[in-house]
A and B are shown apart, each in its own frame.
Chain A
Amino acid sequence: MGLKRFILRKVVAAALTIAVIICANFFIFRMAPGDPVRMMFRDPRVSAESLELMKQKFGLDKPLSGQFVAYVKNLARGDLGLSFSQRKPVLEVLASRIPNTLLLVVTALTIAIVLGVALGAVAGWLSGTKLDTFILTASVTMYSIPTFALGIILLLVFAYLIPIFPLGGISTPASGYEGFELVTDIGWHMFLPAFSIVIWYVGEYVILTRSSMIDAMGQEYITTAWAKGLKKYKILKNHALRNALLPVITISGVNLAFAAAGVIEAETVFAWPGVGRLTYDAVSQRDYPLLQGVFMLFAFAIVLANLAIDLIYGYIDPRIKVGE
């Protein structure tokens, strides 16, 4: 019972959030000064007739309420408008970029979480020692360095000065690589952008896991475990870390919202052809329909990922099943 209600509440909250995002996305872009059609299709080569056609399609010849209805209708059909800089439907542009971003983010996050949790657990376990102070200071520094700044440093040092890594992109153009060669090539291109995202995330996860670990170590079940004469490693792994991970999982959801920042910065610096670089291109071209689509994609992805994390949490934390 407790679990069902918990799930229902989370699903309803996510649906509401998405509804508000859809509305916000409409009104934010209407806030911009100037004619929305002109703004959407700034290309002077667009003829007056096709502008009229676009106006009708997006309901821009109607009052604001009519425009909103048209916007929602188009959205329901998966029509996010046209990107004038790419000369393609926004949805098509987004779809072609999503796999590249997923590849980068999932790789970077996996590495960062494993490293961050391990280092954080050690620091928390040995809290107050020199090693702990070192790990903590290093982590604060690591997660303070803006990803784009780190990216530019890496690019200068390891791509220009000492040309070990490629300057950008996802693979060597027109190389004709296939199979294993292509995989290595992509991995090679991914190294620097992934590294600049990992650095930020490791810092974040170390700090989280460390403080959560220190909390868990102060609990009575740890004292009990010691009293039972369990091995140190067993207490660390089965008692302290296991409980310390619960809050780390919840905060991972919030962290995803920040992951968007890392992706935009790293992809921009390394010209990685994903959604992040697309954001930068949309900004520099002032391609508002595309920017609108990118924002919606980021927002949806984060709401859904948060929902998934909440549901996983519902299964992991026994207190929720019992209904507290």
Chain B
Amino acid sequence: MAQYLRKTNKAKEFFQLLFGHPMGFVGVAIITLFLTMALFAPLLGTVDPSASGDVTNLLIPPSSQFWFGTDDLARDIWSQTIYGSRISLTIGFVAALITVFSGTFVGLIAGYYGKILDEVLMRIVDFFMMLPELPLMIVLAAVLGPSMWNIILVVSLVSWPSTARVVRSQVLSLKERPFVESSRCIGASNFQLMFSEILPNVVPLMFAQAVLMITEAIYAEAVLSFLGLGDPTSISWGMMLHSVFESGVIAESYWWVVPPIVSIVTLIVSFSLLGTAVSDILEPGYKEKKGF
């Protein structure tokens, strides 16, 4: 119970610090807006975003019927923009979850056991980090075929090493601390030491990594879709830009270009701001400076 209380206080303190940080506040506010948009998409005056409309409604500018106008298949751009948030956020969160958990697992094992296991795992990490991310993602997405799950798979496959690396260096220092030593002395197993002693202390770092990974995954999905490797069954912002770019009417139909660009840039920038705020807060000494 005491431990539980301590944890909630820590979380409360963390969020107080986060909202007090200008970048953190702006980031969280905008992300909340997008989450609301994604959650209540059907209630926001939307129609089926991939349903082609009447031929007489091709590429019409914003009007009272089509708030953001229509595309070259007479589809409603307002609906595409609103529903696009679902795709970006889903891919961002799911890919980040997979990446952070697998990266943490590898980092924990490598850092805790050390020696040859560490050496081998870190060589693999080094190798992955040396590869050019986007070309690798393009190649994998092209070979695996376009689908939302393949994009998630590709993004996770390419991004786990950086988490593994930072978690490992944290574990290296944690495992020498007295609290781990004392648990070992009273007979804790390796498993217990890793998961109930060391892991809880890595959680703040995992959180910071998760924000970073969400940002990267959203960006990766947008780029891959823009390059024509997106899931054709669900229209994302990147894919909207791909369509307008390929259609050749980019100059005449600003209403088709502006919504997806503004959405992508705003969402990615707000996650970056949040990420910067989180890493500031986790920096040793920040709490004290703010009088906590």
A→B interface (CB under 8 Å): 13, 17, 20-21, 28-29, 31-33, 136-137, 140-141, 143-146, 148-149, 152-153, 155-156, 160-161, 254, 257-258, 260-261, 264-265, 268-269, 279-280, 283-284, 286, 288, 291-292, 294-295, 298-299, 302-303, 306
Contact = CB atoms under 8 A, between A and B. Distances in A.
Contacts, number: 126
Contact of B129 (A148, A254, A298): A254
Contacts of B228: 280, 283-284
Interface in B248-292: 250-251, 254, 257, 261, 264-265, 268-269, 271-273, 276
A161 B222 CA distance: 25
A291 B139 CA distance: 7
Nearest to B229: A283
B223 A146 contact: yes
Contact of B219 (A31, A146, A260, A264): A146
Interface of B: 23, 126-127, 129-136, 138-140, 142-145, 215, 219, 222-223, 226-229, 241, 245, 250-251, 254, 257, 261, 264-265, 268-269, 271-273, 276
Contacts of A279: 135, 138, 227
A152 B136 CA distance: 23
A203 to B, nearest CB: 10
B272 A28 contact: no
10 contacts: A28-B140, A140-B269, A141-B272, A146-B223, A148-B226, A152-B245, A260-B133, A286-B142, A295-B135, A306-B130
A156 B135 contact: no
Given A141-B272, A145-B265, A160-B251, 4 more contacts: A146-B264, A258-B134, A261-B134, A284-B228
A178 B130 CA distance: 41
B229 A298 contact: no
Nearest to A136: B276
Which of B134, B264, B269, B272 has the largest count of A CB atoms less than 10 A from its CB? B134
Contacts of A21: 131
Interface of A is mostly: helix
A299 B135 contact: yes
A258 B220 CA distance: 12
A148 B272 CA distance: 17
B250 A160 contact: yes
Which of A141, A152, A294, A306 has the largest count of B CB atoms less than 10 A from its CB? A152
Which of B136, B139, B250 has the largest count of A CB atoms less than 10 A from its CB? B139
B142 A291 contact: yes
A306 B129 CA distance: 11
Contact of B264 (A20, A149, A261, A265): A149
A260 B241 contact: no
B132 A28 contact: no
